[in-house]
A = this chain, B = another copy of it.
Amino acid sequence: MARQGGRASDPRKVSQELFTLTYGALVAQLIKDYEKDDEVNKQLDKMGYNIGVRLIEDFLARSGLGRCNDFRETADVIAKHGFRMFLGITPAVSHWTAAGDEFSLVMDTNPLADFVELPDDHNQLNYSNLLCGVIRGALESVQMAVDVKFVHDILKGDDQTEIRVKFIKRLEDALPAGEE
């Protein structure tokens, strides 16, 4: 018990199982409410956006990291610090475009979707779409507009889960992002 006791006593962590099941309850509720997968994806992205706007403050305070010099550094910070701090995983950063304005976060495992099986009639559902919104909201809060979407998903039979992040523009306005 000692090892588990030690891990579990960290007051800033909760068990992944509890998180996964709670997230599952949220997705199930949205499916009940909105029926169409596209609409559920949109709602998850929106909720994620609002979460990202909140998490970024915590992230900056806890990581002590400053402004990124370029989009490559941003990608590394998201994967090696952001995902690691909040989800306990470190996605690979890959598939850069030649222009350096677009990359992928590639995951072998996805804590949001552990033990999840998509029903056959929901093949347009991006189950973990909350993550896209979180990245979008967090980056917008540091004046960076991005487009974020799932391009592969283990839940849909792909080998890996891949999130594509595309740089759109720097936001000039330094006002904090509002809630959507």
Q: Which residues of A contact B (CB under 8 A)?
A: 1, 4-5, 7-19, 21-23, 25-26, 29-30, 33, 47, 50-51, 54-55, 58, 62-64, 81, 84-90, 109, 111, 130
Contacts and interface: CB of A to CB of B under 8 A. Distances in A.
Given A8-B88, A13-B88, A64-B1, A55 B18 contact: yes
Given A4-B63, A14-B111, A63-B4, A22 B21 contact: no
Contacts of A7: 10, 12-13
Quickly give the copy total for this chain: 2
25 contacts: A1-B81, A4-B63, A4-B85, A5-B84, A7-B13, A8-B85, A8-B86, A8-B88, A9-B90, A10-B13, A11-B111, A13-B13, A13-B14, A14-B15, A14-B87, A14-B88, A15-B87, A17-B86, A18-B55, A22-B26, A25-B26, A25-B47, A29-B33, A29-B47, A33-B33
Contacts of A18: 19, 51, 55, 86-87
A21 B29 CA distance: 16
Contacts of A8: 84-86, 88
